[in-house]
């Protein structure tokens, strides 16, 4: 039986409310009064239509316990903001989920850039350990592991870099990248604190 329009609207709003969070089909299905198989089929359809991205957990064999469910993002941030009722910049910046919106937008720009460059890569993934260490984005172009943390701030601090370093070391990442809105990028051979433009225009590995 086709899904009722009211159910689809509720499903869209629930996806928007859970933007950037680990996917829990059973919980959403229970809220909608349908099975988890049904909500997974809805999600499959939206993914095939390029409306959402299922960001899979990084599958490296590390010693810490990690979250194994995918995270779900709306790929179109404008659609996300409309579903959540934040049509203006002032509304958006006042929302508690603005960081997740920024994170997903940055991830999409990076994925678009890599695909347009024709740069093959393994990923994208994310990492979240149960002890709180996490990476917003992990991908591997030409066998080089990039560990990326994304912050909305324009003034990233040393603590941000320390947390990134510790999480990156868990997976043996060769490149550690903190992307924010900074205008004062800092870079050395292994680490980079920069804005999105600085990251995309940096030197990329070649085969």
What is the average pLDDT across 167-192?
A: 93
Residue 73 neighbours by CB under 8 Å, 6+ apart? 19, 20, 52, 53, 55, 104, 107, 108
- Domain count along the chain: 1
- Residue 206: inside a domain: no
Tens digit of pLDDT for each residue in 78-103? 999 989 888 778 788 888 889 999 99
- Residue 80: inside a domain: yes
State the residue range of the domain holding 31: 5-200
The model's pTM = 0.91
Instruction: Return the pLDDT at 207.
Output: 66
Q: Which has more confidence, 1 or 79?
A: 79
Tens digit of pLDDT for each residue in 102-142? 999 999 999 999 999 999 999 999 999 888 889 999 999 99
- Residue 132: inside a domain: yes
- Residue 103: inside a domain: yes
Instruction: Return the pLDDT at 90.
Output: 79
């Amino acid at each position: 039986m086709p899904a009722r329009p009211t159910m689809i609207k509720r499903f869209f709003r629930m996806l928007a409310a859970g933007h950037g969070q680990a996917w829990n089909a059973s919980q959403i299905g229970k809220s909608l009064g349908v099975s988890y198989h049904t909500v997974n089929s809805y999600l499959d359809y939206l993914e095939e239509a390029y409306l959402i991205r299922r960001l899979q957990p990084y599958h490296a064999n590390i010693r810490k316990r990690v979250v194994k469910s995918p995270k779900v993002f709306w790929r179109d941030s404008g659609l996300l903001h409309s579903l959540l009722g934040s049509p203006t910049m002032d509304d958006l910046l006042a929302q508690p989920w603005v960081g997740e919106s920024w994170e997903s937008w940055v991830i999409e720009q990076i994925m678009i850039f890599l695909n347009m460059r024709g740069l093959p890569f393994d990923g994208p993934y994310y990492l979240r350990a149960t002890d709180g260490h996490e990476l917003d984005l992990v991908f591997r172009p030409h066998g080089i592991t990039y560990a990326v943390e994304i912050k909305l701030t324009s003034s990233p601090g040393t603590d941000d870099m320390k947390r990134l370093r510790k999480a990156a070391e868990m997976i043996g990442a060769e490149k550690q990248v903190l992307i924010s809105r900074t205008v004062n990028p800092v870079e050395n051979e292994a680490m980079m604190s920069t804005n999105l433009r600085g990251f995309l225009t940096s030197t990329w590995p070649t085969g």
